[in-house]
Amino acid sequence: LFLKKHKGSNDTSQYHLQALIEAAKYGKKVMVLDFVTPTPQGSSWGLGGTCVNVGCIPKKLMHQAALLGQALQDSRKFGWHFTEEVKHNWMTMTESVQNYIGSLNWGYRVALRDSKVTYENAYGEFVGPHTIKATNKKGIEKLYTAERFLIATGERPRYLGIPGDKEYCISSDDLFSLPYCPGKTLVVGASYVALECAGFLAGLGLDVTVMVRSILLRGFDQDMANRIGEYMKDHGVNFIREFVPIKVEQVEEGTPGILKVTAKSTTGDQIIEGEYNTVLLAIGRDPCTRKIGLDKVGVSINEKTGKIPVNDEEQTNVPYIYAVGDILQDKLELTPVAIQAGRLLVRRLYAGATTKCDYVNVPTTVFTPLEYGACGYSEETAVEKFGEENIEVYHSNFWPLEWTVPSRDNNKCYAKIICNIQDNERVIGFHILGPNAGEVTQGFAAAIKCGLTKEQLDSTVGIHPVCAEVCIQSHLKVTSKSCIHGILG
Amino acid sequence: MGWEEVQVRGYPEFVRTAQSYHGRAIFALFCGDKDAEGRSWCPDCVTAEPIVRKELHNLPDESVFIYCLVGDRAYWKDPNNEFRKNLKLTGVPTLLKYGTPQKLVEEECFKGELVRMLFTED
């Protein structure tokens, strides 16, 4: 075997690719192994990882498709006349989305080749120290050695482990390239994936039900989570709370067919049944770390979760093996976090930099029908960490100007700012529920990183008329300390 | 059977030709018109063509290579010309795999490795 000194890496995503392209720039020989194991339904995709192919990108585009449907309705009140009934075509949307994703896949191929990064569409697994076996889809195996390795294999959707789940249910891995309209859909789960998918499917005009085991959006601010749920309910999404499916059977074959779901209550013995065209499982994602030979090289993983613990330099317990992305233990599962971590890692290894990835105050957005942007602590976590008497919560409802004319959802949008009284009323939590929440939150995240205080926020002049100005003092009301959920504005 | 080349000029002829080869892999190189001496008004096309031609032997069996002259400079500059509007071309030279998002534009066509990758990838 010819020994090559190059940094191999297992699987990839756009963030990972960026890190490798940088490594190549510093003169290192770099190889990428990327391979997608098809879903139980047979779905697969190209280079770029989850975000590009079956995550953020298609999700946001389909969310936009749903928003445009709403905009068409609103437009009538603004004077647009169209006599035809407005209908949505799933195939037209999916084709456009997949086409765009295809251009991204191709773009990465070009970028890698241009940067002299060797790419193999092959499944990588460790077989011994510094050695990896790559198996392509034809079953041909090759061995590679490298000085260092970066694992970024990400996660895949979890299945329920009940009869009929793999045979008949789909996941987000299948949804964005589904070659037929899903029809009447049951979404199982209450994660942001579940709610975002349920949200846009309903927005496209489909009959959608969400089956929730316990709470919505675990880990997120629960007051905000409940407001999101209420909004979805008001907009026609059905919720079945405190039930879990125990069996999925096929009533009729087809694209889509008809499936019968049997579910059991989590609080008693009640059993319910329902029929749907499609059952979408969104109950969580599991790291792809169990079948890549980590035991052969001694990399420890959390046996229960499959996640890989790393130090603050993304290094595993094996010094020449690093990891980034969703597979990391106790780190945020977000594309930009992984990009940042990967890039900084490469700079530290090959360009003499010392900067480590900052995992604090990372902003996020949930693209449910009513979007939710957040940065910093949830209210419950802030109370837990600082004590109720040491935090101040400023909040307000607001009505986007654009929604007034079409008389839409008066007083459903909401913003909340949490401040640490003991630290100059430092802003430690920012939450906004409303249109373009992501766009609004990005700027505030930068301010929070600079140490934004309530006084600085107050002294910032608002822009009018925009939703974001609600975050500036003149539009917020102080809650009474004895009752965090005070009077709404 | 190996690959074959067809030369066309203008949008209608391109579309007719592509449709006639429906079912086969079609690769197309779009260049600016050539004058009586055989030189294109598009300097990047002059650079790219020999590089692309050098890689043609990598084309898959049964595939078709369409060499398409788009028109004169004035036609190309018009933002509403059919190549821009319908095929979404943004520049010449463009080398693409018809019906897919895979393409190389302008300086990307100067790189033999990228041309080879376009011809041999699936």
* pLDDT band (50, 70, 90) for residue A22: confident
Yes or no: say if A450 and A365 are a contact pair by the CB < 8 Å rule: no
The pLDDT of residue A362 is above 80 = yes
The pLDDT of residue A280 is above 80 = yes
**Please, which residues bridge with residue A396 across strands?**
A415
Query: Residue A315: helix, strand or coil by DSSP?
Result: strand
For residue A137 the two structure tokens come to: 């889809």
* pLDDT band (50, 70, 90) for residue A21: confident
Query: Residue A129: helix, strand or coil by DSSP?
Result: coil
* pLDDT band (50, 70, 90) for residue A485: very low
Q: Which residues of A touch B115 (CB under 8 A)?
A: none
pLDDT at A96: 96
As a whole number of angstroms, the distance between CA A111 and CA A22 comes to 11
A369: part of which helix (H) or strand (E)? none
From A103, A105, A109, residue closest to B117, measured CB to CB? A109
Query: Residue B83: helix, strand or coil by DSSP?
Result: helix
pLDDT at A11: 44
For residue A313 the two structure tokens come to: 């330099």
Residue A193 annotated as lining a ligand binding site: yes
* Mean per-residue pLDDT over chain A, rounded: 92
pLDDT at A3: 22
User: Quick one: which of A111, A110, A138, A108 has its CA closest to A123?
Assistant: A138
Q: What is the pLDDT of residues A108-161, one digit of tens each?
A: 999 999 988 999 999 999 999 999 999 999 999 999 999 999 999 999 999 999
As a whole number of angstroms, the distance between CA A86 and CA A456 comes to 47
Flag if A114 and B111 touch (Cβ within 8 Å): yes
Q: What is the pTM of this model?
A: 0.91
**Please, which residues bridge with residue A281 across strands?**
A171, A188
Tell which of B95, B102, B105, B114 to mutate to test the A interface (max A CBs under 10 Å): B102
Place of tokens 């019968």: A260
As a whole number of angstroms, the distance between CA B43 and CA B52 comes to 15
| Local structure of residue A201 (DSSP, 8 states) | H
What is the total residue count of chain A? 489
B117–A contact, CB cutoff 8 A: yes
Q: What is the pLDDT along chain B (122 residues), one digit of tens a residue?
A: 799 999 999 999 999 999 999 999 999 999 999 999 989 999 999 999 999 999 999 999 999 999 999 999 999 999 999 999 999 999 999 999 999 999 999 999 999 999 999 999 86
* pLDDT band (50, 70, 90) for residue A373: very high
From B101, B103, B104, residue closest to A99, measured CB to CB? B101
pLDDT at A484: 45
Does the annotation count B45 as an active-site position? yes
Flag if B100 and A102 touch (Cβ within 8 Å): yes
From A103, A113, A114, residue closest to B101, measured CB to CB? A103
Task: Please pick, among A395, A431, A464, A485, the residue that the annotation labels catalytic.
Answer: A464
A143: part of which helix (H) or strand (E)? strand A141-145
* pLDDT band (50, 70, 90) for residue A85: confident
Residue A177 annotated as lining a ligand binding site: no
User: Quick one: which of A264, A265, A267, A307 has its CA closest to A285?
Assistant: A307
From A99, A105, A110, residue closest to B114, measured CB to CB? A110
User: Quick one: which of A377, A47, A426, A399 has its CA closest to A220?
Assistant: A377
What's the gap in Å between the CA of B110 and the closest CA on chain A?
11
Residue A196 annotated as lining a ligand binding site: yes
For residue A425 the two structure tokens come to: 């009323």
Task: Say which amino acid occupies A109.
Answer: R
First to last CA, chain B: 19
CA A271 → CA A124, A265, A266, A268, distances in Å? 44, 6, 10, 9
* pLDDT band (50, 70, 90) for residue A473: low
| Local structure of residue A208 (DSSP, 8 states) | E
Flag if A106 and B114 touch (Cβ within 8 Å): no
Task: Please pick, among B31, B45, B68, B109, the residue that the annotation labels catalytic.
Answer: B45
Q: Which residue of A has its CA nearest to B99?
A: A99
Cis upstream peptide for A465 (omega within 30°): yes
Q: Which residues of B touch A113 (CB under 8 A)?
A: 113-114, 117
Yes or no: say if A468 and A457 are a contact pair by the CB < 8 Å rule: no
B37–A contact, CB cutoff 8 A: no
What's the gap in Å between the CA of B46 and the closest CA on chain A?
22
As a whole number of angstroms, the distance between CA A61 and CA B40 comes to 40
Q: Which residues of A touch B87 (CB under 8 A)?
A: none
CA A148 → CA A128, A131, A345, A360, B6, distances in Å? 13, 10, 12, 28, 48
**Backbone torsions φ then ψ of A34, nearest 5 degrees:** -130, 130
Query: Residue B3: helix, strand or coil by DSSP?
Result: coil
- Among the listed ranges A34-38, A355-359, A479-483, which one has the minimum average pLDDT value? A479-483
A110–B contact, CB cutoff 8 A: yes
Q: Which residue of B has its CA nearest to A46?
A: B122
Mode of pairing for the β-strands spanning A31-33 and B103-105: unpaired
As a whole number of angstroms, the distance between CA A100 and CA A61 comes to 10
As a whole number of angstroms, the distance between CA A387 and CA B13 comes to 75
Query: Among residues 83-102 of chain B, which lie with CB inside 8 Å of chain A?
Result: 100-102
B122–A contact, CB cutoff 8 A: no
For residue A197 the two structure tokens come to: 């998918």
Query: Residue B25: helix, strand or coil by DSSP?
Result: coil
A111–B contact, CB cutoff 8 A: no
Q: What is the pLDDT of residues A170-195, one digit of tens each?
A: 999 999 999 999 999 999 999 999 99
A378 φψ region: left (φ > 0), alpha (ψ -120 to 50), beta (else): beta
As a whole number of angstroms, the distance between CA B32 and CA B46 comes to 9
Total CB pairs under 8 A between chain A and B: 22
User: Quick one: which of A60, A96, A299, A332 has its CA closest to A197?
Assistant: A60
A103–B contact, CB cutoff 8 A: yes
Flag if A103 and B113 touch (Cβ within 8 Å): no
From B101, B113, B114, residue closest to A102, measured CB to CB? B101
For residue A168 the two structure tokens come to: 């008949």
Flag if A100 and B103 touch (Cβ within 8 Å): no
ipTM attached to this prediction: 0.88
Q: Which residue of B has its CA nearest to A120?
A: B121
Yes or no: say if A211 and A266 are a contact pair by the CB < 8 Å rule: no
Query: Residue B68: helix, strand or coil by DSSP?
Result: strand
What is the CA A156 to chain-centroid distance, rounded? Answer: 12
Flag if A106 and B101 touch (Cβ within 8 Å): yes
First to last CA, chain A: 71
Flag if B101 and A113 touch (Cβ within 8 Å): no
Task: Say which amino acid occupies A375.
Answer: C
Residue A60 annotated as lining a ligand binding site: yes
Instruction: Quickly count: other Cβ atoms within 10 Å of residue A284's Cβ.
Output: 14
Residue A312 annotated as lining a ligand binding site: no
**Please, which residues bridge with residue A252 across strands?**
A258
Flag if B102 and A114 touch (Cβ within 8 Å): no
A113–B contact, CB cutoff 8 A: yes
Instruction: Quickly count: other Cβ atoms within 10 Å of residue A23's Cβ.
Output: 27
